């Protein structure tokens, strides 16, 4: 197996830039990595599976170029007899470009007990998202459809399943609905819950 599953724009931002615009050197290295020559070299080394990028969470329009690169590179790999797997973000999105492209994605952010976005550690340009939010799920189905139908990936990798529901509106509503559906009022009162609509998850 060989792998490099970060699109160019994310590599630029992760490496300390305040923007997502690559330098000439960064773009040249990225193009070499996605070349037939690279695939031939990997095959010579005995590689038969490549794990590559699909979508990182910056928005479908923002990542249009790198997603098209993924389609082309997957085709080169398959032509050489290599299987292809793809990384699909599933933990934290890149909120700076995503909110410009999809403003309502702000509703998908997981909030902590103080009402602040849950960030990906010190990477404050990445917010964890609520996988249970209906709008987020509808959006994510587009990503999966692209990976399956356009890239034709043999494997889909979903990363960062480490953060559960938060204090965002959707998470709180789902938790209250669960309590209401699961427990009769008498049992809730025994647990100290007089009004489900005032309960906050911990």
pLDDT number for residue 162 = 84
pLDDT number for residue 123 = 92
Q: Which residues of the chain have pLDDT under 70?
A: none
pLDDT number for residue 73 = 97
DSSP code for 35: S
Domain boundary assignment for the chain: 2-163, 168-202
Fold of 2-163: TIM Barrel (3.20.20)
pLDDT number for residue 32 = 96
pLDDT number for residue 57 = 94
DSSP code for 18: S
Kindly report the pTM of this predicted structure. 0.88
pLDDT number for residue 15 = 79
């Amino acid at each position: 197996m060989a792998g490099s599953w970060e699109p160019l724009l994310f590599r630029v931002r992760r490496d300390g830039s305040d923007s997502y615009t690559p330098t000439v050197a960064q773009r040249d290295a990225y193009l070499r990595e996605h070349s037939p020559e690279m695939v031939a070299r990997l095959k010579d080394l005995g590689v038969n599976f490549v794990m590559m990028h699909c979508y990182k969470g910056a928005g479908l329009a923002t990542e249009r170029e790198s997603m098209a690169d993924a389609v082309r590179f997957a085709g080169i790999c398959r032509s050489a007899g290599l299987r292809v797997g793809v990384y699909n973000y599933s933990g934290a999105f890149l909120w700076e470009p995503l909110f410009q492209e999809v403003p309502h994605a702000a509703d998908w952010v997981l909030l902590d007990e103080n009402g602040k976005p849950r960030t990906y550690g010190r990477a404050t340009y990445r917010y964890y998202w609520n996988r249970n939010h209906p709008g987020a799920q509808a959006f994510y189905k587009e990503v999966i459809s692209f990976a399956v139908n356009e890239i034709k990936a043999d494997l889909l990798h979903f990363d960062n399943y480490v953060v559960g529901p938060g204090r965002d509106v959707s998470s709180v509503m789902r938790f209250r609905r669960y309590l209401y559906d699961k427990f009769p009022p008498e049992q809730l009162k025994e647990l100290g819950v007089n009004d489900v609509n005032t309960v906050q998850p911990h």
